[in-house]
Amino acid sequence: MYDVVVVGGGPSGATAAEDLARSGHKVALLDRAGRIKPCGGAIPPRLVADFDIPEDLLVAKITTARMISPTGRKVDIPIENGFVGMVDREDFDEFLRVRAEAAGAVRATGTYRRIEREHGQVKVIYRDKVSGNERELPCKLVIGADGARSNVARDEVEGGDRIPYVIAYHEIIAAPGKVGEYDPTRCDVIYDGRISPDFYGWVFPHGKSASVGMGSLVKEVDVKQATADLRLASGLAECETIRKEGAPIPLKPLDRWDNGKDVVLAGDAAGVVAPSSGEGIYYAMAGGRVAATAAAATLASGRVKDLRLARQLFMKEHKTVFRVLASMQNAYYKSDERRERFVSLCHDIDVQRLTFEAYMNKKLVKARPMAHLKIGLKNLAHLTRLVPAAYT
């Protein structure tokens, strides 16, 4: 009998399992194994500090971000007083799972099938990867951290079967040195409807490799061809392809994260990917932490309403940032003309500083009211077309 079974061994699930195991709970971590999520791999300094990530897991430290408009205009943004850390999800996720196991979590490898309840006992039924047989993990509570199209959410939580998502696709390639448009110390973000009509493309260095990809909600988009076009434009078409990966990325947090009985969601299963940027690793791990907190509170109190703490704690800290980013995405990702204006806005030094201060610290910066006022006026000028798209 486990206190908690965590379904899904990505950053969210592994974090929840480790936190619960370190606090003395009996935990099982169920993971399919062998699956690597398509991801740019960017993590902020706050994640490194909050979750005690060792330096040797960072395959690169990025000091410049380049925004590229539909007409090819480039805006290079220096990352002052910090960096964007890069990780390879294959190694990063396994490190987190191993650390959870070292803390006391029991690892199980297989595919979630369903949850059964009998005589007040909860059982997670899964198909064992080695034997192919169904096995069970009896427990008191379940944390569903099994991705954007979460089977746990679909089965157990109201609205969990209707979460909107974009399809992300990327290719991990053997990275060259600094050649053509590629710079191993710079992240490129491409806002171009020919690559993605409603999101963006990216070229993110990973040391000896690089992630090149894009995302889109539009089902008719050929994500593989768009990525091939992006590689060609970046001078990376001839680089060796190491692996190709695709997966859904949720667009907004679910309105409810628990079933009011014995299940709570975390990470992509709860929809916690930042709008506009698509950033997910930090928010997944933060979501895993609050899910562990809610589970521990429920086990201690016996009150199932304490499962609501997961969403309450997360939204208390991150709701405003998510709301602002969603407004940006809705305003600027609709057309190439709007994307051109968005890149123009990125020329502003205050936009650059406030954006990366917020990214690195995961909170909105309130210390410079005049800068916020100026940005607001420029934003209004672009959205009302009072200035040309190329205006900076």
Give yes or no for residue 145 having a pLDDT over 70: yes
Mean pLDDT, rounded, for 117-132: 92
What is the per-residue pLDDT for 134? 96
**Domain range annotation of the chain:** 2-39+88-163+252-318, 61-84+165-250, 322-384
Weakest-pLDDT range from 95-109, 164-178, 329-343, 371-385 = 371-385
Give the strands of the sheet with 84-86, arranged side by side: 42-43, 84-86, 60-62
Q: How does pLDDT run across 278-321, given as a tens digit for each residue?
A: 788 999 999 999 999 999 999 999 999 999 999 999 999 988 88
Neighbouring C-beta atoms of residue 259, cutoff 10 Å: 21
Give yes or no for residue 381 having a pLDDT over 50: no
Give yes or no for residue 366 having a pLDDT over 60: no
Weakest-pLDDT range from 85-99, 139-153, 236-250, 320-334 = 320-334
Contact 125, 30 (CB under 8 A): no
The domain over range 61-84+165-250 is classified in CATH as 3.30.9.10: yes
The domain over range 2-39+88-163+252-318 is classified in CATH as 2.70.98.60: no
Most confident of 107-116, 209-218, 236-245, 324-333: 107-116
Mean pLDDT, rounded, for 122-147: 95
What is the per-residue pLDDT for 225? 95
Residue with tokens 């949720």: 250
Q: How does pLDDT run across 336-362, given as a tens digit for each residue?
A: 998 888 888 777 776 666 666 666 666
Give yes or no for residue 152 having a pLDDT over 90: yes
**Which of 284, 257, 32, 25 is closest to 139 using CA atoms?**
25
Mean pLDDT, rounded, for 111-118: 95
Higher pLDDT, 276 or 293: 293
The structure tokens listed for 150 are 């979460």
Answer positive or negative: Cα dihedral of 176, 177, 178, 182. Answer: positive
Cα separation, 340 vs 70, in Å, equals: 6
- Note the pTM of the prediction, 2 decimals: 0.88
Q: At what angle do helices 369-383 and 336-345 cross, to 10 degrees?
A: 160
Higher pLDDT, 30 or 77: 30
For a pLDDT cut of 90, what percent of the chain falls above it?
54
What is the per-residue pLDDT for 82? 75
Cα separation, 252 vs 116, in Å, equals: 29
Confidence at 378, pLDDT banded by 50, 70, 90 = very low
Cα separation, 74 vs 379, in Å, equals: 19
Q: What is the 3-state secondary structure (H, E, C) of the chain?
A: CEEEEEECCCHHHHHHHHHHHHCCCCEEEEECCCCCCCCCCEECHHHHHHCCCCHHHCCEEECEEEEECCCCCEEEEECCCCCEEECCHHHHHHHHHHHHHHHCCEEEEEEEEEEEEECCEEEEEEEECCCCCEEEEEEEEEEECCCCCCHHHHHHCCCCCCCCEEEEEEEEEECCCCECCECCCEEEEECCCCCCCCCCEEEEEECCEEEEEEEECCCCCCHHHHHHHHHHHCCCCCCCEEEEEEEEEECCCCCCCECCCCEEECHHHHCCCCCCCCCCHHHHHHHHHHHHHHHHHHHHHCCHHHHHHHHHHHHHHHHHHHHHHHHHHHHHCCCHHHHHHHHHHCCCHHHHHHHHHHHHHCCCCCCCHHHHHHHHHHHHHHHCCCCCCCCC
The structure tokens listed for 368 are 């410079």
Weakest-pLDDT range from 65-79, 257-271, 318-332 = 318-332
With 0-12 CB in 10 A as exposed, 13-18 as middle and 19+ as buried, what is 240?
exposed
**17 residue type, one letter:** A
Is 61-84+165-250 in the same CATH topology as 2-39+88-163+252-318? no
Mean pLDDT, rounded, for 236-262: 91
What is the per-residue pLDDT for 330? 83
Give the Å distances, CA to CA, from 133 to 121, 146, 356: 21, 20, 49
Confidence at 247, pLDDT banded by 50, 70, 90 = confident
What is the per-residue pLDDT for 373? 47
Average pLDDT, the chain: 87
Answer positive or negative: Cα dihedral of 145, 147, 148, 149. Answer: negative
Give yes or no for residue 58 having a pLDDT over 80: yes
**Which of 153, 341, 167, 155 is closest to 247 using CA atoms?**
167
